[in-house]
Chain A
């Protein structure tokens, strides 16, 4: 797939995606931290987790 904006380089990252690390680097770093924080959230209890899942499904109009 051809990128829709000119990129600083043709390099690909470890996932094979275009390297955008030099574009908005602070935002990229903050998003990475959020991913890590979410991944580490293993101790939310099962009832709260299920309530959030159902609320999100309703909000997204998902009936599965």
Chain B
């Protein structure tokens, strides 16, 4: 680990969160809210594509329990690199994956057509929540890459702040 003095923990995330519980707890809350507001299979497919675009092998290897519980299996994940043509992916998933990839590669390149396609499948509020969730997943992965965080708990095991945490936590 590039940063000395982190306390021990089950994962890299836990070690950072133990040092800065308030901001990491707040980020954990955002991630949980993103999963709560979005179809877990859609978000997991996009999360894995984002990890590919950002070159984050540890996140590519990780699986989200909520998506597995919702029926996402390894056979479909194996076909994810060929999502534009694979029959395993329906129009709704393709619309979301297309927007997700463009969003991460160059958000300014997101077109009206990409948004309209997702809106046609998810509705306006669903599209809004989906794009917000994409932003959260991208931010989370970029933050973890910057901090050298290789191991992260599943979304429902992310460290959360306790109610009595102070407002500012010096290290």
A contact residues vs B (CB 8 Å cutoff): 4-7, 20, 23-24, 26-31, 33-34, 36-38, 40-45, 48, 51-52, 55-56, 59
Contacts and interface: CB of A to CB of B under 8 A. Distances in A.
Q: Is the interface of B mostly helix, strand, loop or mixed?
A: helix
A1 B148 CA distance: 38
Contacts, number: 90
Residue among A7, A24, A51 with most chain B CB within 10 A: A24
Contact of A48 (B3, B115, B125, B142): B3
Contacts of B171: 43-45, 48
Interface residues of B, number: 37
11 contacts: A5-B124, A7-B124, A26-B37, A29-B33, A31-B33, A41-B168, A42-B168, A43-B168, A43-B169, A51-B2, A55-B148
Nearest to A48: B3
B124 A37 contact: no
Contacts of A56: 146
